[in-house]
Amino acid sequence: MAVKVRIPTPLQKLAGDKSEVEAEGATVKDVMNNLETLYPGMQERLYSEEGELRRFINIYINEEDIRFLESDATPVKDGDVISIIPAIAGGVER
């Protein structure tokens, strides 16, 4: 099943300079695996060597954080939108 995947600016070079692509899979993990097939190099930026999502990568499906669902085992369906959002840190404490 095809879903839209929103690609953050730091990863757009890997995705042919696209901010949004289509990928397929039954779960978020399947979609991420399909992204790697379509755009090699994506997987290593999203997952650790142990196969875990990197801590600084947030993934949302239809605006819901997958950490509060079934992580990357969360099922997807046609028309879903997955957003990959790198965490942003910094600033000054007040």
Q: What is the band of 93 on the pLDDT scale with cuts at 50, 70, 90?
A: low
Whether 13 is covered by a domain: the verdict is yes
Condensed to tens digits (0 to 9), the pLDDT of residues 35-82 reads 999 999 999 999 999 999 998 999 999 999 999 999 999 999 999 999
> What's the number of domains the chain is made of?
1
Whether the pLDDT of residue 94 is over 90: the answer is no
The reported pTM is 0.89
Minimal CA–CA distance to 80: which of 30, 14, 11, 44? 30
Whether 93 is covered by a domain: the verdict is no
Whether 31 is covered by a domain: the verdict is yes
Query: What DSSP element (H or E) covers 46?
Result: helix 42-46
CATH assignment of the domain containing 72: 3.10.20.30
Determine the structural domain holding residue 28 and report its residue range: 2-86
pLDDT of residue 92: 66
Whether 52 is covered by a domain: the verdict is yes
Whether 58 is covered by a domain: the verdict is yes
Whether 91 is covered by a domain: the verdict is no
Whether 94 is covered by a domain: the verdict is no
Tokens of 35: 């992204």
